[in-house]
Structure 1
């Protein structure tokens, strides 16, 4: 009898062990994040190594550091960091320290840096954009009635956007209406955009910055137009020439990565760059020409998604079988660009 009990107990333990193995083997997706892009540590900084942080925070623990050219696997993309695979863990590297990201699944993975905005809103009152989903967090900027903004998503009553190189949050209770971007281009129409994006600009009242804001407004108005199927938009030809007779004023501009003042149309690159981030969300728009500002990009957008104009240019083509209409709105530090399907 004792031997039988021992045998039964052993069988039960073995059965429990087997069940445990089955459960563990059924959970591999929880243990290993999906690799989105293969890339390497930038070779543009040949004399320095690149830190890998425990969190998307420069004050967090440094897990490791890599030499230029070291291969990495990207599992997450944030405004200022990418999450990379570190064994079974995830570490974080600054976006400007990585190079040549290539999607593993070209068909189902958006181009690196694409920020898909699912919602948009027009402010009906004064609204603060916060640094965290918390009313007590830092206020990044204050918007007023009429300002427009796009949102990545909504979670626990907070709408999330990209504010320069970090996330920003708006309490949805402050929004009279939260509109959805069309879930597909087929669902878009003249009231529901098929893609939106907004960048943020300085609202200080120096003469140079007032001129720059004027140039954003002028550039956005000149860019607003309909593109027929197969038609191209050459940004410099459409929005330029950048001279006083077209309403432009002298302001600061990045030239070869250096800030130069008294450039007519200074700031127009922010219009082309914001438009580029809308284009990235639409597979039927083909970019024919685009150049960044330099190694470090520009401060009002995440690294790697700017598109310079002026001496350089942005050119794209409408490859959809329907016309599209581009609009822009400049107010309170928010430059908002939307593309609609004309039906």
Structure 2
């Protein structure tokens, strides 16, 4: 009778939801709620974020370019902004335009590679860093000048396009600057896909480099400046390149009409400012040739006869 009574009491306690120290084994034990568990998981994620560190290395030299460390959540907008800014900073540091080769005494001089960081690809890579990723190769596109001694045979046989302008040869400063800039671009060779940046090829116009004072256009006014006249060279080149059918990448007009080319046919340039850029879109090499003679400047775009006959 006593046993039945005790069993009935225990059964009632279980049905009513009462806890028993006999059932739990520990009266002081506390269980984590769903909220507590979520907070604990978040803390683990944040700890993992603090430890995120990866070395960004050059794909060729294997040099460590930058050690990326972040304490931000990988899924946050702040993290997206951080890696986008990093990609922009690295691009500014690593990107460099191609310096094309030049023909000198029948031999090609060394140019330099075009280097371009794929910012979008880098951002996507950093968005998906895994815990075991300790080193990542930077997505750099490297293009060398696409010409060789073999491919330039007969490159001066055919004129694809040309243009001629005139100037007052008695104005010594201007004449000097035109001659210097024309010589800088003379016999530049561009292989298929190679690019030409006028400011890069001609370089900074300084007294130390032989440039003199001459009239130039600044904000719609004629003023004296070192290197005045080089825009006649860039404008003559622009028209020759356009006549040859090469691809224009960047061109700007002066703020005031010039007398040596028709309106809208000029290409103003300045160091650290507007530039004139084009690309050889042919499937064969071309060469720039300049002729300066007694107040006249002619620019020609040349190619080998056999290559040009395939057009």
**What range is the shorter-chain TM-score in?**
0.3 to 0.5
Q: TM-score, normalization: structure 1?
A: 0.42
The structure carrying a bigger strand percent of its residues is 1
The structure carrying a bigger helix percent of its residues is 2
